[in-house]
Structure 1
C-alpha cells in the first residue's frame, strides 16, 4: 500500500506528537504514544506503530522533502522494512553519496563552511598546492576571484620547520584534479563523516571495502588515485589532507586497496602505475634507516613534526603544561608561545610531543597502549601491514607481470619480495610473539622489552596470514575470551587499560570501545584460518549492536561504540562523530558503513534472519 502524504503537514504533526525531547529525531527516549495515524489524499488511513517504524516514516518524509517535493508517496514496505535491509540500503543509496567530496570549486565551497576553518573565514582559506602541480595552481588561482580562498604553492622540499610555520595559517591540501567533460574536476574521495571533511589515510581503505561491495568501483579507484597523488606530491599517504599533517603518514593499506580494485577492474596499466608508486612509498617512507625503520629490522611510526600539535582543541595540553608555566612564572598561553617560538627549551616536552604526534600517525589516537612511547614501539599491526605489502608485491609481480617488474631504478622479481616478507615474519615472531601467553605484543626497540598491553591488534597477524596454524589456534584460545564483549571485540582488555579517574581519563581506542577496522581485520583473519564459527559470532555481535542502535535511535550509525554495553553512547575524548544530526543521518560514518556491508557479505543467512528479529547475541551464542 502506498500513502500520498503532504510532507510539511505530516512532519509537523509527527514531530509534535512523537519527538517529545525536541531533538528532531524519534528514539526510544521519546515519551510519545508511539502510534501515529497517517491519511492519504485518497482518504485511506493507517496507524504507524513503534519507534523504529515512526523514525522510518520521519526519514522517508525528509528524503522526499530533500528531493524538492511537497507531497510524498510513502509505501508501507519502507516503513515496515526489515532493519538489516533498510540499513544496508541506506548505506548503499544515500550515505556514500553524502560522504563523497571533491577538492574543486564545489568542494572547496563546502570546506570554507567547515567549522575547523571558522577562524579563517573572515580572511581566506589557504589551499596549499604541490610545487610541481601547475594545473592545480592555475585552477585554484582562478578560483580566488570566485571564492574566499588563497592559492598557496608549497616549496619543492617540505621540511618539519616549514610545516610548523604554517600552524598559524592552516589550510587544506589539494588532491588530484582531472580534465573532464571540457572542464576541471576534483577526483572524488569519501570522508569519514561529521566534522571530518578531509580524505583520511586508513579510513579510505576500509571505506573502499564497502564501496566495492556496493558496486561503487569508480569511487574506490578514485581513492587509490588520490593516494597516488599524495605519495607523488607530498611524499606519503597523509594522515589527512590538511597542512599540519604534511609530516604524518597513516597505517599502510595502499597495496590492499589497489589489489582489491584491480580484482574488479582488471586494468593492468592502472595496476602497473600504482604498483610503482606503492614500491616507492615502501622504500622512501618506511624503509629509511633511523626514521621509520629501526635497528632490529622492524618498523615504527615516526611523525616528524615539531612542537605542539595545532589541531587539538584549546586547553587540550593545559594540565601537561601548567607545571612548566608555573616554574617560569608565566601563563600557559605565554609558555606555549615561547616554547613554540624557541625562546624556551624543554627536552621533556620535545619528547612528549614527538610521541604524541606519532600516536596520531598510527591511527590509534589515542590509547594507553602507545601513550608516551609510541615512537619507541615496533607495533604488531604496522609490521603486519608491511609484511602484507611485501607479499602483495611478490604475488602481483609473479601473477600479473610474468615475474619481472621494473621501476624507475630497479628490476624486481617475486623472490626478492618473498625474501623480505619471510625475514619480516621471522623478526615479528622473534620480537612480538609471546609463546607463553599465546599473544602477539608490541615490542619496545629502545628498552628491548615486550609490551604487556593486550589489544585487539594482537589478531592482526591472522589478517595477513603471517601466523602459523599453531599460533592462530593459541590466539583464538587466549585472546578471544579476553577481548570478546557483547558488541564485538574491544580495543583492549580492561586490565591493560587500567584505572580511570579525573587525572587518567578514558582513551577512545581502549576498553570499553570497539572500532570497525579492528573488527573487519579480525573477521577476515579468522576466516583465513577456518575459524568460521568464531567469525560468525563476532560478525553477528557487531552487526547486532549497529542494527539495534539504529533501530532505537533514528538510524544512528556513529564513529565508534561501547562494545561492553553495546551502545553508541560513548563517553570518551572527542565525543562520537555521526550522532549529531536532525531528522535523518545523511552519512552514517565511513568505516562503520563499510563494516556493516562487509559483515553482511560474510554472515550466514540463518544469522541474518535472527538479526532482523534483533535477537540478543547472548541468546544466539
Structure 2
C-alpha cells in the first residue's frame, strides 16, 4: 500500500541512481538483487518528489519490488532524473503480470536467425565450440546462400552445410562441433529476414517443439497472431529440411522430435482466421508428411499393437545434459570395466567401449526426452517399450484435426504427393486409435489411463498427469470422463494445481533414488492447460475454473512474494518456485526485474484468465487462497 501525510500526484520525479541504491541497501537484505518476502528490511520506503518535495511511503514486499523493477527500467535510460509512476507501484498483481507478458515478455523472448538476431542465439551458455557454428541443410538453397554471405561478414562465425539426406552416422560427427540449426527465412521489402520464433527463456535459448505450441496459444490470446503463424512456418521448415519438428534447433537434437502438436497450432490459428487457403493447403501437406514419415513407420514409432511410442534415434548419452548428470548410471559400468568414471565415459562416448545394456538404457533415455517429460520415473529405462497415453492422445487429436480441415476447407478430399485422402479416411484412423487406446490403456477399476507396455503385454500402473490427455483430445466417453474427474483428479490436486504424478506412484519405484522433475510434487504448465481444455470439452466448467484458479493463484502469489518471478515449474507440495530436483528452475535467476517470464507459464496465465469469471479474477487479485474457495 501507499501512504502519505501529504496529498501527492501519481508521478514522482526522483534521482534514479540515488533512490535505486538506497532502496537496495535498505530492503535487499540477502543481496540477491531482488526484494522478496525472504528479505528482512523494514518493508517501508519513503519517496521524495524532487520538485514538490511531497513524500509517499511505499509499503510491503510487493510494492517495494515493483518500485525496484520500475527503477531498473529507468536506469536503462541513463538519465539522472526520472519519473516513477505510482500507479505501476500499486498495480493490481493480476493486471501487472498479464500486462507485462503481453507488452514485454513475448518481445523479450523473440528471436530470429538472421544477420540481426544470429548472435543472440549462437553466443549463449550452450555454445561449446571455439567458433560459433550454424548448420544449414543443403536442401535450403536460399538459406545456404544467405548464411554463406553472412559468414564473410561476421567474426568468429562458421556455416556448416548438412547433406540433403543425412544419416545418423553423420549426426554423430557433429557431436565434436555442436551448433545451432538454421530456421526459416522470409523475403521482406529489401532483404531476407529470419522468421521469428519464441524461446522458452533462460538457458533455453532456441526453438523448442512442444513449448512452441503452448507459447502459440498465449500469442494468439494476446493478439500476436503473426508471431503464432511464424511458429507454424518454422515447424513447417523443420519438417521440410530436418525431417521432423525437432526437440530444439541444435545439432544434437537432430535425433529426436517432440510431441506432435503442429495440427493443434494450425487449428488455433484457423480459429482466428485463415491467412489464406493456399497457406492452409501448404501446412496440411506438411502435417500429413510429418504424420506419415515421423510417426507411422512400422518398427520405428509405430508398434505392433497399432499404437505409437516415442522412439528417438542415436546411440549413447544425450549431449544436452550437464556434466555428471549420468554418473549414477555410469558408475556400475565403470566398475565393470575397471575404469575411473570419467575415463569410462570418454571411451563409451567414443565407442571404444560398446555395451549393449547401456546402449539400451540410453535408447529409452533419449526417447523419454523426445516425449518432453525429461525426466520421469514413468519412462526411465522403459520409454521405447510403451504405447504411452500422451503420444497416442496427441496423434488421435492430429487425426481428428486433419479430418476436420479436409472436410471443412477442401470439400472432404485432399490430394498430396499423388495420394488422395478423404476426411473419412482420417476419421477412421482416429476411431481405430481411440478403440485401441481404450482397449489397452484404460483401467476401469482405477478410473485412469495407463501406458501400455507392448513388450511385456501389460499396463504400467504409474499414475501420471498424462492420464488427463485423453480428455483434452476428446477420446473419452462420458463414463471415462466422469471417472477421470471424480476419481483420478483429486489424487493429483494440490493447492496450486495438479502434480506430474501422484505421490504414491512417485514413491513406488524405490529403485530410483533421484527425484524426477516431471513427477510428484512438481507442477507444469502443459499439464494444467491440457487438463483445463479437457474439462471444458466435457462441460466440467466449474471444475475447470477451479483448476485454473489454483494454478493462476500460485503464479500470482509467487510473483507478488518474489519480485515478479515467473518460473519454469513449481513445487506444489510447498506452493513455491523453490524447486530442488535435477535441473533447478529456469526463470528464477535475474537481477532486479524479470524481463521474460517463462514461455509456457506466460501462456498458461493468459489462457487461464480467459476462463475465469470476473468474481474469480477479483479474488485472484486479492490473493484469496484456493483453499478458502473450493
Give TM class, smaller chain: over 0.9
SS of residue matched to 1:293: coil
In structure 1, what is the equivalent of residue 593 of structure 2?
584
Show structure 1 runs of 4+ deviating over 6 A.
Answer: 499-503
Q: In the alignment, which of 53, 62, 74 is matched to residue 64 of structure 1?
A: 74
In structure 2, what is the equivalent of residue 249 of structure 1?
257
* Residues in 1 aligned to 2:539 and 2:441: alpha-carbon distance in whole angstroms: 23
* Residues in 2 aligned to 1:530 and 1:304: alpha-carbon distance in whole angstroms: 40
Q: Is residue 271 of structure 2 the alignment partner of residue 263 of structure 1?
A: yes
Q: In the alignment, which of 213, 216, 224 is matched to residue 221 of structure 2?
A: 213
Shift of residue 616, structure 1, vs aligned partner: 0.9
SS of residue matched to 1:251: coil
In structure 1, what is the equivalent of residue 368 of structure 2?
359
Shift of residue 502, structure 1, vs aligned partner: 11
Q: In the alignment, which of 168, 178, 182 is matched to residue 170 of structure 1?
A: 178
In structure 2, what is the equivalent of residue 115 of structure 1?
125
Q: Is residue 352 of structure 2 the alignment partner of residue 343 of structure 1?
A: yes
Gaps of 5+ in 2: 1-9
Kept in 2, the 8 Å contact 1:173–1:242? The answer is yes
* Residues in 2 aligned to 1:531 and 1:30: alpha-carbon distance in whole angstroms: 42
* Residues in 1 aligned to 2:559 and 2:594: alpha-carbon distance in whole angstroms: 10
Give the structure-1-normalised TM-score: 0.97
SS of residue matched to 2:272: helix
Q: Is residue 450 of structure 2 the alignment partner of residue 441 of structure 1?
A: yes
* Residues in 1 aligned to 2:511 and 2:621: alpha-carbon distance in whole angstroms: 41
Q: In the alignment, which of 120, 128, 136 is matched to residue 129 of structure 1?
A: 136
The CA RMSD measured in Å over matched residues stands at 1.4
In structure 2, what is the equivalent of residue 548 of structure 1?
557
Q: Is residue 518 of structure 2 the alignment partner of residue 509 of structure 1?
A: yes
Give deviations 1:482-525, integer Å, cap 9, x for gaps.
10011100000011011698960210000000000000000010
Q: Is residue 151 of structure 2 the alignment partner of residue 141 of structure 1?
A: no
Q: In the alignment, which of 106, 110, 121 is matched to residue 96 of structure 1?
A: 106
How many residue pairs align between the two structures? 618
In structure 1, what is the equivalent of residue 414 of structure 2?
405
In structure 2, what is the equivalent of residue 429 of structure 1?
438
SS of residue matched to 2:159: strand
Kept in 2, the 8 Å contact 1:228–1:274? The answer is yes
Q: Is residue 491 of structure 2 the alignment partner of residue 482 of structure 1?
A: yes
* Residues in 2 aligned to 1:92 and 1:345: alpha-carbon distance in whole angstroms: 51
Gaps of 5+ in 1: none
Shift of residue 566, structure 1, vs aligned partner: 1.0
Q: In the alignment, which of 146, 169, 188 is matched to residue 161 of structure 1?
A: 169
In structure 2, what is the equivalent of residue 325 of structure 1?
334
Q: Is residue 96 of structure 2 the alignment partner of residue 86 of structure 1?
A: yes
Q: Is residue 625 of structure 2 the alignment partner of residue 616 of structure 1?
A: yes
In structure 2, what is the equivalent of residue 183 of structure 1?
191
Give the structure-2-normalised TM-score: 0.96
Give deviations 1:452-479, integer Å, cap 9, x for gaps.
0001110111111110011100111111
Q: Is residue 94 of structure 2 the alignment partner of residue 76 of structure 1?
A: no
Shift of residue 161, structure 1, vs aligned partner: 1.5
Kept in 2, the 8 Å contact 1:298–1:424? The answer is yes
Q: In the alignment, which of 4, 23, 44 is matched to residue 13 of structure 2?
A: 4
* Residues in 1 aligned to 2:228 and 2:368: alpha-carbon distance in whole angstroms: 27
Larger mean Cα displacement after TM superposition, 307-316 or 200-209: 307-316
Q: In the alignment, which of 517, 526, 532 is matched to residue 535 of structure 2?
A: 526
